Structure 1
Amino acid sequence: MTRFSKNSWALWIVWLLLVPPGLYLIHQIFPPPQIEPWHLAAYILFFVLTCLMPMNINGASTYLVQWVTIAVFLKYGIFVEILISQLTMLIVMVRSRTDEPLTMRIPFNSIMFFLISCFSGLAYLGAGGQIGSLNLLHILFYGLIFQLVSVFSNQIIYYSYDRLTGSQVKFFSVDALWDFALTLIIFPYAIALYISEAYIGIPALLLLGIPFLIMTAVMKLYNNTQLINNDLQRAGEIGHQLAARLTTDEVLDQFVIQVSDMFKSDYAYVIDYRDSNLLMLRMFEHQEFQKQSVPPVRYYKGIAGNVILNNTPVCYNKKSDWEDIVTGYLPIDTESIMCTPISRNNKIEGVLMLASRKKYAFKSHQLKILDILSTYFAVSLEKAGYVQKAIATSERCGLTKLYNYRYLDQALEKSMEKVKSGELRNLSLVMMDIDHFKGINDKYGHQSGNDILIGLARILEAEVGKEGIVARYGGEEFVIVFENYSKDLTLLFAEGLRKKIEKHDFLIQQDLGAERTIETVHVTLSIGVSTAPDDSDEPNALLRNADRALYIGAKQAGRNKVAAYAK
């Protein structure tokens, strides 16, 4: 038997021992006066209508039923008020959206409502209040006692329950202050309703009840409008933040974090639609990015697939709404889901999915807000792509696609600062020059020379990998920068590279001959090495030292050699 099952049985046993016998005793000790069926039915009708029109205050649904329950208590006494309160409990249970099972919520809330009714009703009667009195001062004084005891009893029961379950809660919370404020606001309406009904009958319920319901509906509409405006404002702020990001990775990460926080989701996923497959780009679970270990699935599979096929966002309030269609990855405790397509230039590029462990976690208007955010995201992603291409163009050699001198100069300066601050032990620079390169251009043509430069660039990239930076220094000269490489280790690398190039077959197309034949050409490198801080602590000096080693120690010594700078 699970923990929830045990707790449910315990609550139902307490309910059976307390509520039915308590109702019987209340009826025997404080029997209700003669009841006019039509009058009571009218009260119940307006009571139900009020329950069906809750207001959202401080993020929680609030039911303004006190104006009816107080009037019912003053007219019919504690027994009828308990029955009305139990009806309140049932309506609230049906309408409320929470993960806790009804088998626990119904007995707990029934007991709580019963105790609150008993405490407040007995306090009213014990203080000297009389049921059916029409003395205004009597009603105001004792009625206020009834209402205040009701509010404080509610807070005491919740506080005690949270303490027993180990929850951290303050007795005077924001919700408690709202309850007290609503008590002062609703109480005059309840007194006016009770006195008016006593003198003019059912028409009083129409005269007071209809304006009250209209006011409640208008306030609820205004409150919902405020929520939508707040979400739109937050969406605009997120859009501005995305626009400020310069790389696609930054846009992706910022978007997932901000959207997950805005909608209070437990899980957020950005799914790429590529080559008829759905590929997970970002997995954000419990406020942390996870490794993307989910295999691709076909584009028409699952919830994301339906969104792509229909090009329509969807929202599911609980697992039973979507569990028959899901085929991809979702945590087992997922309940609510919001999913929207990400489109760019009228073409679907992917899907954004938010999920929560709570039922009914997302509101209907939030799906439209999410659709707007997805548009911001797509535009920002496209802009970041253009920015990255522009940066790459300004930092790369157009021919070899290696970094250019501009980028090398900036990178070398940053690395040298790390050496000076002690963050790096060494900074080594390898400068190389293709031997007799002018002769290759003269014999085979400049296009063939370019082919050799491109081929050499690819070899350098493969040999260096992520260990260093490879740049074209100019003409047939190339530079490699290694962080935390000693001079000895760099010389070892340079010698291995020299031997590899010496043996490599470069295939070129003869441009200057009568026939455009494919020929094999071999080239050699002269290489100079300089290391900081041993040889210098300035970027330009490090370059000059490597250049000096290249020409004096390698070129003048016969070429196809590696030389280290020596003071």
Structure 2
Amino acid sequence: MVITKRQKYIIFIIWLFVLPSGLLLAYNLFPALKIDWLNLAVLFALLVVTMTMPLKLNNMSVSLERWITFTAFFQYGVFVELLFTQIAMFILLFTRKSDLPPMYRFCVNSLIFTLVSLVSGAFFHYAGGVIGTSDFMNLILFGLLYAISYSVINSAIMQLYLYFETGMLTVKEKYIVWDFAVTMLLFPFSIALYFLSDLFGNKAILLIGIPFLLVLLIVRRYNQSNNMNDKLYSASIIGHELADRIGFEDVIRTFIKELKNVVPYESAYVLDLRAGEHLITLMGSEDGILTKDISGLSFNPKKSEDDGLNMDRPKIYSTKKEASELKHFKFTGQLGSIMTAPIKRNQKTEGFLILTSKQKNGFQALEMKIVDVLTGYFAISLVKARYYEKTVEQSERCGLTKLHNFRYLDAKLDEEIIRFHTGEITALTLLMMDIDHFKVINDTYGHQCGNDLLVALAKLLETFVPEEATLARFGGEEFVIALPNYNKNETVRLAEKIRKEVAFSAFRIKPDLTEKREPIDVHMTVSIGVASVPEDSGDAKELLRNADRALYIGGKQAGRNRVGVYGKEYVETL
């Protein structure tokens, strides 16, 4: 959620008015009983310790301060409970992560719980509840009413706040259920602490206070262990998902996307380190969008030893000041902390992962260890994907000209025919060409010169190929261009341009079969055939056959250096 300066000012002004007014109302309308300062100090100490040990349940951070604030209310009234709650909200700034600005967050929480304390306290008093009573049933009955109203009012005000902030009425069912469940769970502990304090004074801390904190500590450790196990399990799942990806960019997308479920971040960047000294952005995630055109990070592409990127192990920069150690790296937007991690293969660093958070101390040691494990999976998956893509490219590329080969063209034409029949493209035309008298060239200058001419022609043809078209070496000295959304007339015009350009071009070769073997310029021509879908054929094989027929009848047999256009009744020569 993005908070504007205007929102910050409005909330702060409201807070300046509401909190003092609330404290004054609580003090005058619901006077506190005589305060036992030692007892109050004990409760305060319990509150502070409890607030430093929140639990994480179902990805929600839950603090258990209500067993103390409720006890303070039952002993001393609304005023003391309100003060304790405000202190708890302040401690919350340091114990729970949030993307919200700290002052804004404190003011919002303070406002909400000021209203909650006053309204629920009023329910208790006007319903007949008595502060400081030793009547067990009275406190159970009206205390339960207080606890229920406290949770319900808190949830209602929270939903209203979210509505005014976002403009949408979104009921947070999980938050409401957990808030009510935790309140009901803590209510008996506050009752027990209240009556034990009444019977044994401050010694009650030994009977319930310390045991509660010890149990909370054990549960917290268990909770942390479960969270760690959950994260490690999620990391292994991500490892398996990466292993299943065979495309290089698909591996990067999967890694960045799934990483956020284990290590929450604001932005993520994957940088490639080439030749050990050049940094290049492969992909990034900004505002939840995966992109190669990043805007939130700029850096010097020349890697230096003092730029702050650790080549051996992950590192956390917990504050913006610490992040200034990353020299030559500039981040836009709000920045609280950064994590960097090398991407290593065979003990060699081949790239870097950079994660940012808006919060100070946004990354923990456990998350750094998980990132270390995941970058290992990531590096292996990248190598496998690169190898796979290279193997596929080699199997689908001509080794000499580096153009697509017949295998690729055959599959591509089937795809284009399907696209035509499903309406994705409106036409498909094939342009097939063959070098005239190529055997004579080979016999005169040598086969290596023939290969050199094939490479030179391939480069020339690449300058004529539209963005969506496919250029392939069909075999020998034949080339094909598949043109989706090109009608026959447009393709014929393109064919004529290519024919004329080849005829007027001089190709420099170094003859192998002459005595001097000095470079010379040679000229050559091509014959071209054109056929299209749907006029001339309905499938890929027929399209190739008809384009070949147009090439030989309308081009070669008509005298070469011609464009032949296939027609169902005849083949036209241009």
Does the TM-score normalized on the shorter chain lie above 0.5? yes
Cross-structure match for 1:55: 55
Cross-structure match for 1:284: 285
2:21 to 17, 24, 44: 17
Q: Distance in 2 between matches of 1:250 and 1:181?
A: 42
- Check conservation: 2:396, 2:404, Cα contact below 8 A: yes
- Letter matched to residue 331 of structure 1: T
Deviation at 1:103, TM superposition (A): 5.0
- Check conservation: 1:99, 1:359, Cα contact below 8 A: no
Unaligned runs of 5+ in 2: none
TM-score calculated relative to the size of structure 1: 0.85
Q: How does 1:165-180 map to 2 (within 5 A)?
A: 168-169=168-169, 173-180=173-180
- Letter matched to residue 18 of structure 1: G
Cross-structure match for 2:300: 297
- Check conservation: 1:32, 1:80, Cα contact below 8 A: no
Residues 526, 367 of structure 1: alpha-carbon distance in 2 compared, 3 angstrom cutoff: same
Cross-structure match for 2:8: 4
2:308 to 296, 306, 310: 306
Q: How does 1:97-496 map to 2 (within 5 A)?
A: 97-98=97-98, 100=100, 103-104=103-104, 109-110=109-110, 112-121=112-121, 123-162=123-162, 168-169=168-169, 173-260=173-260, 263-274=263-274, 276-290=277-291, 292=293, 297-300=300-303, 305-307=307-309, 309-317=310-318, 319-322=320-323, 325=326, 327-357=328-358, 361-464=362-465, 466=467, 468-496=469-497
Deviations 1:465-499 (A, max 9, x none): 54632222222233232223333333333333233
Q: Distance in 1 between matches of 2:489 and 2:565?
A: 9
Q: Does 1:525 align with 2:552?
A: no
Deviation at 1:389, TM superposition (A): 1.1
Deviations 1:297-317 (A, max 9, x none): 1445899x422x454433345
Deviations 1:367-415 (A, max 9, x none): 3323333222222222111111111111122233222222222222322
Deviation at 1:180, TM superposition (A): 2.3
Q: Distance in 2 between matches of 1:431 and 1:341?
A: 49
Deviation at 1:8, TM superposition (A): 1.8
424-433 or 124-133, larger mean C-alpha shift: 124-133
Residues 89, 549 of structure 1: alpha-carbon distance in 2 compared, 3 angstrom cutoff: closer
Residues 472, 215 of structure 1: alpha-carbon distance in 2 compared, 3 angstrom cutoff: same
Q: Tell me, what secondary structure is at the counterpart of 2:237?
A: helix
Residues 80, 550 of structure 1: alpha-carbon distance in 2 compared, 3 angstrom cutoff: closer
- Letter matched to residue 378 of structure 1: A
- Check conservation: 1:397, 1:472, Cα contact below 8 A: yes
Q: Tell me, what secondary structure is at the counterpart of 1:292?
A: coil
116-125 or 278-287, larger mean C-alpha shift: 116-125
Q: Distance in 2 between matches of 1:383 and 1:24?
A: 73
Deviation at 1:362, TM superposition (A): 4.2
- Aligned-residue sequence identity (percent) comes to 38
Q: Distance in 2 between matches of 1:558 and 1:164?
A: 80
What is the CA RMSD across the aligned residues, in angstroms? 3.5
Query: Which segments of structure 1 move beyond 6 Å, counting only runs of 4 or more?
Result: none
Deviation at 1:107, TM superposition (A): 5.6
Residues 70, 19 of structure 1: alpha-carbon distance in 2 compared, 3 angstrom cutoff: closer
- Check conservation: 1:156, 1:171, Cα contact below 8 A: no
Q: Distance in 1 between matches of 2:30 and 2:110?
A: 16
- Check conservation: 1:433, 1:525, Cα contact below 8 A: yes
TM-score calculated relative to the size of structure 2: 0.84
Residues 555, 368 of structure 1: alpha-carbon distance in 2 compared, 3 angstrom cutoff: same
Q: Distance in 2 between matches of 1:422 and 1:116?
A: 61
Q: Distance in 2 between matches of 1:202 and 1:416?
A: 85
Q: Distance in 1 between matches of 2:164 and 2:486?
A: 62
Q: How does 1:79-90 map to 2 (within 5 A)?
A: 80-90=80-90
Residues 56, 503 of structure 1: alpha-carbon distance in 2 compared, 3 angstrom cutoff: same
228-237 or 122-131, larger mean C-alpha shift: 122-131
Cross-structure match for 1:32: 34
Q: Tell me, what secondary structure is at the counterpart of 1:372?
A: helix
- Letter matched to residue 137 of structure 2: L
Question: Aligned pair count?
Answer: 561
Unaligned runs of 5+ in 1: none
Q: Distance in 1 between matches of 2:527 and 2:415?
A: 27
Deviations 1:132-168 (A, max 9, x none): 5445434433432343343334334434545555654
Deviation at 1:269, TM superposition (A): 2.4
